[in-house]
Structure formats: structure tokens, C-alpha cells
Amino acid sequence: MLTRRKLIQRLTAIPVLGGIMTSIPFTTAFAGGKPPKRDLFKELGVRTFINAAGTLTYMTGSLMHDEVLEAINSTAKEFCLLDEVQDKVGEKIAKLVHAEAAVVTSGAFSGMTLGLAGILTGIDEKKVQQVPHLAYSGMKSEVICQKSHDIVYNHALTNTGCKIIQVETAEDVAKAVNERTALMHFLHIESDKGKIQHEEWVALGKKFNVPTSIDIAADVPPVSNLWRFNDMGFDFVVISGGKAIRGPQSAGLLMGRKDIIAAARLHMPPRGFNIGRGMKINKEEIFGMYIALEKYINQDHDKEWAMWETNIAHIENTVNKLSGITTEVHVPPLGNHTPTLRVTWDQSKIKVTDKQLRESLRNGSPSIELGGGTENSVNLTVFMLKPGQEKIVATRLKEEFTKATA
Ligand SMILES: *Cc1c(COP(=O)(O)O)cnc(C)c1O
């Protein structure tokens, strides 16, 4: 036991630090009120821009609503136990998304790694320490996935030491399943390219007694996707927090079976000695993710959709009056399911390439980023615009097309 005397001895053993701390005139540094507001973008020369492209990681994803920033700020000023925040927030989130359990992860990618790691090890702490060296404890080591669903993000799965076994048909699945099969993974965004659809995938998993997972990282809207795949019976589901949900860009959700989430958490901080220690998510982000999700679910989605349509129509109607321009609004059925405007031009009339046009808009003031296209077309979305920015985008596009027509 620590006696009072020993405690005092210990405290006085760090006089230098204590001395420095108390000698800083902390309150006088900001004498006369609030410190001047610093514009760090300006100070460091970091370009900001109007985002008419979409929720892209290299453009820092999405912007958080004030309620989310308020949740982050207000929780930043107290200590608490990391596990307790995950317990309490996880319970709330699980209810919102119809899952048995949920945990806030550092993105959808880490959700895939952690969910699979949990399946491989269960709550056996010795096994937890051995991932990704699966052979040591005879852990399972294969993940079955449709060929068209095996994209770059499956690296999240192979990080556990598992390899991907590609299949195309239900017969292929039957042949591929063996005692090493840990998981059957599905990718929603490519579901139109695979032969096997969601329900059949889940049914096959149940038939062969193999857990199933789905990556829906970029797949709200529609909001119902948040619970659709939990209701369908996938054993775990991952989604990005920092895309259309507009939570912290570094956050995501892992939702699913209670035993899988509990095991996944053994691979997460505050615990070390696991593959997930580097996938830390702090309490502010966890609270922020919860508030972002709650706000996203409760918002008026029809009203928001109508606003996107109005804004995209404004841009469309500004540019399609120009000679040589054709426009088309489409809604991608999978991934970034939001009104998207394609502007195409006749290069014999308008002498500009998509690269030149995007470069001019990027270098203009204010800077604007558009989505990619072809040599004579660009795509743009309005769901990441702030109110009024649709007018700036429309005007700037018209200016550039007019200039290139001369
Ligand atoms: C964005 C994305 C990911 C990665 O999500 P993070 O939240 O950035 O980790 C994984 N899969 C798909 C299909 C994605 O679009």
C-alpha cells in the first residue's frame, strides 16, 4: 500500500517538472480575452476548395456537422475509460442499426480486419497475440469472396494472415469451403457484377456454417442500408463513418453478432499485442461518430434529396444553354447513390480537355474540385457542397466553357 509519506516523497521527486508547470503564467498568455483565431490553412499554405467531386479520402472525405464537432469538443475535456465509451456508445449504435452489437472502428477498412480477426481467434487471448501467424494455433486461414468482389480493400482481410479464395458460382462456394474457411465476404458496391446476390450469399454461409460479412463502406444513402444487411443476417457489416454519414473521417462502424464484436475488441486498443493496436480511435471520435449516426438517421432524407436535385438542376440549367454542351443527371445505383451531373462537350466547338478544365477550376478562386470523366466530359455531385456553392460552381463552369469557345 502507498502510505501518505511515500506518496509525498514521490510527488516531491519531480520538483523540476512541477516547478516549470506552475511557473508558466498560463492565464496571462491570453490576457485581454480570447486568443486571436488562427487560420491554419492560410498559415501553412494548405489549399481549401469547393468539393463538387464527392466523398473521397484524398480530398479528406466529408465535413462534420456542428453537432458532431460539438460532441467532439465537449467530450475532449474529461478522462474516461476507453472501453466504457465503446460499451455505452456501442449499445446505442447497435439499436440504431438493428445489430446485436457494434463498435466504432478507425474506418470500414479496420472494421473488416477486426471483424475477421475476431472470428479467427474468438476470445482466446493466446490466439489474439498470434494473428497474423495463423498456423501456430491452427487457426482458420481462408476467406471466400466472389471474383468481382475481390478489390483492393480486401487487403484489410489478408492483413490477418488469411488468403482470399475467389469463387464465381454457388457450386464454386461448395467446392471452396473446407476446415480452413473462416469467412465468406461480400462487397455491396460490386453486387451487380457477381452471380450470387446478398440473400443467397447469407444462405450459403448458413448452409456451410461459415460466417458472412459485407462491406457497405460507401453505401448510404439510402439510410435503410444501415440496417438492411444486419436484418438480412450477415454476421458482420462494415461502413465508413466519414463518407455520407459525415462522422469523423477516421471513424467507421463494425456491426454484427455479439460474440464477433466482443472478440474483435480484443484486437483493439486499449489492448496492445494485437494487430489492431495501430487502429486507435479516441473517445472524441467515438462520441462524434455516435452523434453523426444519430443525426444522419433522424434527418429528413426526402428534403435533402430534393435540395440536391434543385442544386444540380441549377448547375445543369446554367451550362446546358451553351452551344456544344450536353448534360445528363444520373444516380449511381451502388456507391455514392446521389444525383450526379455529367457535362459533355463537343470538342470541335469547345476547345478544352477534361484535365485542362479541372485544372482551371482548381486554380481559380475559389478553387473547385470536380469528379473525373473522359477527355470531353466531367462528372460532379452536389452532396458535399455548402449552401450557395452550387451558384459558384455553375458560374465558374460557364465562364470556363465560354472562354474555351472563343
Ligand atoms: C471507402 C471504402 C473503404 C474504406 O473505408 P474507410 O472508412 O476509409 O476505412 C472500404 N471499402 C469500400 C468499398 C470503400 O468505398
E strands of 83-190, at which residues? 101-105, 142-146, 163-167, 181-187
Would you kindly state where each structural domain of the chain is located, as residue ranges?
79-298, 301-404
pLDDT digit string, tens, across residues 329-368: 999 999 889 999 999 999 999 999 999 999 999 999 999 9
pLDDT at 14: 43
Q: Is 240 in the pocket of ligand 1 (CB under 6 A)?
A: yes
pLDDT at 25: 45
pLDDT digit string, tens, across residues 68-125: 999 999 999 999 999 999 999 999 999 999 999 999 999 999 999 999 999 999 999 9
Nearest CA to ligand 1 atom 8: 107
pLDDT digit string, tens, across residues 213-266: 999 999 999 999 999 999 999 999 999 999 999 999 999 999 999 999 999 999
E strands of 91-141, at which residues? 101-105
* Residue of 62, 153, 185 with the most ligand 1 atoms within 8 Å of its CB, for mutation: 153
- Domain 301-404 in CATH 3.90.1150.10: yes
Is pLDDT of 32 > 70?
no
pLDDT at 31: 57
Burial of 300 (0-12, 13-18, 19+ CB in 10 A): exposed
pLDDT at 30: 54
Q: Is 109 in the pocket of ligand 1 (CB under 6 A)?
A: yes
Q: Is 215 in the pocket of ligand 1 (CB under 6 A)?
A: yes
Do β-strands 340-345 and 377-381 pair in parallel, antiparallel, or remain unpaired? Answer: antiparallel
DSSP letter (8 states) at residue 351: -
What is the whole-number distance in angstroms between the Cα of residue 240 and the centre of ligand 1?
6
pLDDT digit string, tens, across residues 154-185: 999 999 999 999 999 999 999 999 999 999 99
pLDDT at 253: 98
Given this structure, which CATH class describes domain 79-298? alpha beta
pLDDT at 336: 87
Enclosing H/E stretch for 399? helix 389-405
What is the whole-number distance in angstroms between the Cα of residue 267 and the centre of ligand 1?
20
**Overall size of the chain counted in residues:** 406
The whole-angstrom separation of Cα 54 and Cα 381 is 6
| Mean predicted confidence (pLDDT) in 369-384 | 95
| 110 CA closest ligand 1 atom index | 9
